[in-house]
Structures are given as structure tokens and as C-alpha cells.
Amino acid sequence: MAEVSIRKVVKQYDGGVQAVRGIDLDIKDREFVVLVGPSGCGKTTTLRMIAGLEDITGGEILIGPDVVNDVPPKDRDIAMVFQNYALYPHMTVHENMSFGLRLKKFPKAEINRRVDEAARILDIKELLDRKPKQLSGGQRQRVAMGRAIVRNPKVFLFDEPLSNLDAKLRVQMRIEIKKVHQKVRTTTVYVTHDQVEAMTLADRVVVMNHGIIEQVGTPQELYHAPKTRFVAGFIGSPAMNFLPVSLESSGAALGLRVSNEIVFPVPADRAERYRPHVGKPKLLLGLRPEHITDAKPHLGPELFLFAAPLDVTEPMGMETLVYFRIGSAELCGRVSPTAGASDGATLRLAADLSQMHLIDDASDKVL
Amino acid sequence: MTAATVTEAVSSRRAYGSMSRDRAWALRWSYFFLILFVIFFLTPPIYMLITSLKTSTEVSAITNPWFVFNPTLENYRELLTSAQFLTFFKNSALVSVIVVTTTMLIAVPAAFALSRMRFWGSTVLATGVFLTYLIPETLLFIPLFKMMAMFHELTGIQLLNKWWVNLILYPTLTVPFCTWIMIGYFASIPKELDEAALIDGATWMQTLMKIFIPVALPGLIAATIFAFTVSWAQFLYPLAFTTSVDQLVLPVGIITSLIKADIYNWGQIMTGALLGALPPLIIYAFLMDYYIAGLTAGATKG
């Protein structure tokens, strides 16, 4: 068990491409941290640098108290689970899991004890004598995790471990991974491009983009208080709506002009914060789909009601997603399946502006 | 009227079944060419077998060459009891076994290094290995001969006309090709597998021995078979570099000892060639059992 510190780490490839551009991150002991971002954002490179599979161009990586920049992977006391499992095809599950221990010349009894323990945690006891090709995708992923667990390392590294599984199995394995972490409590760094995976698994999520860290925070922080437009748009599904607005002042109150007809009132508690930005040319209003709902009579006075003709509706069962336009912006809202939403119909909608975000389009920062 | 309707129905059904009709034709063509190939490749060995069962008199008699009228095993008896032939056989076997061993000892680590341990110039070296293979032996044997003569002048050690000179010569043919085959096989092993081994604490050597060699076993066997076949059948180098009867290997030995001036002892030549073809056949049949394709299945997502 150990903390992991990343200090001003840079990774530049031979061609001059900078995959990671000076990131700082402190991962606490026993913490489950998820690196998330679109492909090419540097998350896998960061993980591989922690593992020692990539050289570090600049900065320092510490595992526990030690700088490990020049320590080979085998001496870093880490275990890694790969996207495509990377099981040794000629070995049985037992041999796969015990390979690392056998190399380190552990006594046979201890090896068997650890393998049995890991197999019990992962519920793969009956698979120990099989070869990887006789296993399903989910079982292979369990074995890959087992191989990591038996080593009892300081840090677990997961590189998109669920990407190759089908949607249903992915949800199931996600829960498994969470359970395993609850049982084993090892510091974990987990890379994924799937924000749902990031939100559900992480103690803290690190959102990366273009080789830098956009924001670090708990899933709730990232969801409710994103600091940049990228984080606001990346976290949440369907994604947050962005629509260009201009901030207008009328006495003590502020209004967000969305179109000639619609001016959203700014909640009173935010008026002072936003006042310096009145008249700024490029502002974006960010509002999540669940904050645009069907207007119901019992809803509070903070809601702004407006009518919109619907372009497309997507009934999901427990809710219906509605897509409509205000000006040039396409917006998505979530309404009750009984709200009477249908393609082409006009629906009265309510925007919950207490949950709004105002974004400066020039700096991409949330104001 | 009824007949016409039926015909129409049949023809329209045929149009729907054109996939299976295409398949049937493809099969017919496959059989045609396969049979052609079988005839082409099996006729010479069959003719050799027929001739090996004939006496010299029958070989030169004007009879049907495809039939044995007085079959005899005399050719086999004579060759298998001839000390000379057994020496050729022994030389060939020794040379082939040692060459195969050295080839694999050099080619496998070389291929591993070139395909996995990214170092400065590794790509150029890998291409260099391949280019070496492209130089034909007919171009190489004269400079090699010269080199050995010079080596003799400088050191006093005579390399020419010794059976073991082949141990130095054959690897120039087998090592580049086997390295190239193994680079290909190693390249097909997912990179995550050696990274996993590296994290598990394996050294490069352990990764090679415990992961790569078992996983690339089909490739290793293919390379072994190739190296053996090349060594066993090599003709030009031993012909150029060895002359004494006791130093010859089988292919050269058969030709030099069984052709006396313009007298060809056809029966024994054919017998010798057939007996010489046996070891590669046996080895191939034996190794085929281990040549299990798809051994990497299950390593990664499947």
C-alpha cells in the first residue's frame, strides 16, 4: 500500500509529440483514482509511466517515498491489468496467476495460498486448471485481476480493463472491480474513456484532455461543479447543453438572453458573482438535460417555463429525452414519459436555473 | 403448358441457388488443379521408387520404365552395407543436427532482440538480416573459398576439405531466414504479453524462455524444419568445400561415388536419393504433431 505522486511529469515522443504536458497529481494511500478523457488525452501514457513501461521525459513519479523514474517495472511493486487481458496463453489459470510469485521464488505453499485466496475473491476457483482460451471474456478479465491481486502490490494499475466486454458484462464487472477494491483496499489507478465507469468506480476522478489535467475531484464535484467547459461537457450523459447567451442587467436582476423571445432570469444568489461579466461578448449557458424537464404545476418558482417545438424524442422507458432548438443551439431535456412528448409536438418545459453554469467561451472556464 | 411452367420454376430456383452452384464449380476446379499438382510432384518420387527396385540390367533394358518385372532389394542392401554410404549419412546427420542447433541458438535470441528490445539501429539491423538472406549462395561460395584460403595462410589452420567446415557455412544460409521467420512470429505476439511479464518480474531472458518460446512454438518448429531441410539438402557448399570421400555429405556423396565418369548407376542413385529423403520426412511427420496452429488463441481478447 502506498501513495503515488506525479510531479510536473512530461512525456514527449521521438517525433516531438507531447502526450503529457506537465501534470501534477497526488494519489492517496488506498484511494481509487480514475483517469478519464477522450482518446489521445494522455491518460494511458500517464498510467504506463507509473508502471514503468514508458520513459519519463521530465518531472518525477513517486511510489511511496521513492522516486521511481529510473526503477524498472518489476522493482516498482505494481500490478497491471491490461485492456486485452494479456494472459499467457500456454499456461493454466493457476500458472498465470502464480507466474510472478514463482519468478520471485515464493514457497509453493504460500503461492497456493495466495492463488486460492484471489480465486475465492474473484469467484474463479473452478477455473484454475483451464487455459485462457477456454475462458469467456469476463472470466479472462477476472484472471487478469487475479494475477494482479496475488502479487499483493503497492499499486494496482488498470488500463481500460472493461473496454473489450459487452455492455451488460461491463456493468457486472464494474461492480466486481468495486467489490474487489473494497476487499483488497490497494491504491488503484484506473484508466478509462467511459465517464460512467469513471463516475461509478472512483473515489476521485481525474479528467484529462490534450495532455493536461482539466480537473480533479470526487464524482459529485465534477458533476455539479465543473471548472471548465470540457469537464462540464465530458461528464454526464447525455452531455450538458451549451447555448450562447448574452448577460443583461436590468436593475438589481440579471438576465440571460437566449433569443429575442427568451430571457432566462439569473438566480439571485449568483447575481453578484456574474455581474462583472455583463456585456461580455461570448458567454455560454450550461444546463444539464435533467434540469430541463416537463413543466409541472407543483414545481417551485425558480423554474423558468417556456414552450418549445420538439425535433426528436427518444423514449428510454423511465424517461423520455427530448431534443429541441433555441436559436441555433440544439438542446436536450429529460421529461417524464407521461408528459406527452412526441416528435413535432410543442411541449411546455421548465429550466431549473439554480443548476446552471455560466461559461466564458474565450477561456473555457466556468465562471 | 404445364411442362413450360415447371421448367420456368426450376430455372428461377436455380438462379436463387447460384451460391451453391458457384461453390460446386469452385470445388471442381480445386480438385482439377490439386490432382494436377499431385501428379506433378509425386511422379518423380514414384519413378525413383520404381527404379530403385530394378537391377542395372533392367534399368537399361528397353521395357516399360513404369513397371518392375523383376523387383529386387539389391540396391538397398548394397548401399546400406556400404561403409562409404554410411559415412555420408553420418556426416550429413552430424552437420544437420549441429547446424539446426546453432541456428536456433542464434536466430531465436536475435529475433527476440530485434522485434522487442527497441534499441538504436534495430530496424536497420532487421532489414539487414533479411537482405543477407537475399544474397544467393552461388554468389557467396567463391569469396568464402578465398576467405578460407587466406585464413589458412594466416593461421595455418586448414578449413577446406573438412566435413565440419559445413558447420560454419550452412548457418550463413539458415540464420538469416530463421531470424526473419522468428521476427515475424514474435511480432504477432501482443506487446502486452511481454509487458505483463516485465511487470510480473521477468527478466528479458525469462520473458524469452518462459513466454515467447512456448507461445511461438509453431514458428520455432517451422524454422527448425526449414533449417534442417536446408542443411540436409545443401549441395553447392559441400561440393565446393569438401572433396575427400570420407568428408562428404550425402547429396554430394551420392553423386560423386555413384557416377563414375559417364557410367550412371541409376538404381543405386535413386535408392540413395530415396533413403536420403527419409530423415526430413520422418522429422516433418514427427514435428507435425507439435505444430499446433492457433496456440496464441486466448492470450488477448478473442
B201 contacts chain A (CB < 8 A): yes
Label the pairing between strands A212-217 and A241-250.
unpaired
| A103, amino acid identity | L
Q: Domains for chain B: give ranges and CATH numbers.
A: 81-288 (1.10.3720.10)
Residue with cell 543405386: B268
> Which run of H or of E encompasses B213?
helix B213-215
Q: What pLDDT does B297 receive?
A: 40
CB A154 within 8 A of CB A2: yes
The whole-angstrom distance between B177's CA and the closest CA on chain A is 26
Length of chain A in residues, anyone?
367
- The percentage of chain B sitting over the pLDDT mark of 70, rounded to a whole number, equals 90
Q: Domains for chain A: give ranges and CATH numbers.
A: 4-227 (3.40.50.300), 241-366 (2.40.50.140)
A163-187, pLDDT tens digit by residue? 888 888 888 888 888 988 888 889 9
A211 contacts chain B (CB < 8 A): no
Separation of alpha carbons A211 and A6, rounded Å: 14
ipTM of this model? Answer: 0.82
Separation of alpha carbons A85 and A142, rounded Å: 9
Return the C-alpha cell found at B2: 404445364
Per the CB < 8 Å rule, is B298 touching A137?
A: no
Question: Which of A13, A48, A53 to mutate to test binding with chain B, by most B CBs within 10 Å of its CB?
Answer: A53
Q: What pLDDT does A1 receive?
A: 67
Read out DSSP for A320-349?
Answer: EEEEEEETTEEEEEEE-TTS---TT-EEEE
Question: Which of B198, B199, B300 to mutate to test binding with chain A, by most A CBs within 10 Å of its CB?
Answer: B199
CA distances (Å), origin A233, targets A203, A207, A230, A266, B81: 20, 11, 5, 21, 88
Return the C-alpha cell found at A354: 439554480
A71 contacts chain B (CB < 8 A): no
- The percentage of chain B sitting over the pLDDT mark of 90, rounded to a whole number, equals 29
| Three-state SS at A95 | helix
User: What is the C-alpha end-to-end distance of chain A, expressed in Å?
Assistant: 39
Give this prediction's pTM: 0.80
Q: What pLDDT does A152 receive?
A: 87
Residue with cell 481525474: A206
A4-58, pLDDT tens digit by residue? 999 999 998 888 888 888 889 999 999 999 999 988 888 999 999 999 998 899 8
Which residues share a beta bridge with A34? Answer: A190, A205
User: What is the C-alpha end-to-end distance of chain B, expressed in Å?
Assistant: 58
CB A299 within 8 A of CB A351: no
| B152, amino acid identity | H
Least confident span in A174-188, A285-299, B94-108, B151-165: A285-299
Question: Which of A50, A82, A130, A145 to mutate to test binding with chain B, by most B CBs within 10 Å of its CB?
Answer: A82
A308-355, pLDDT tens digit by residue? 888 999 999 898 999 998 888 899 999 988 888 888 888 888 888 888
The whole-angstrom distance between A103's CA and the closest CA on chain B is 7
The whole-angstrom distance between A216's CA and the closest CA on chain B is 28
The mean pLDDT of chain B is 84
Per the CB < 8 Å rule, is A86 touching B299?
A: yes
Banded pLDDT at B291 (limits 50, 70, 90)? low
| Nearest by CB: B199 against A80, A132, A164 | A80
Per the CB < 8 Å rule, is A90 touching B215?
A: yes
Nearest CA in chain B to A130: B298
Of residues B55, B98, B49, B51, the one with CA closest to residue B249: B98
Residue A297 has pLDDT above 70, yes or no: no
A62 contacts chain B (CB < 8 A): no
The whole-angstrom distance between B208's CA and the closest CA on chain A is 12
Q: What pLDDT does B55 receive?
A: 86
The mean pLDDT of chain A is 88
B3-59, pLDDT tens digit by residue? 444 445 444 455 555 778 888 889 999 999 999 999 999 999 999 999 999 888 888
Residue A252 has pLDDT above 80, yes or no: no
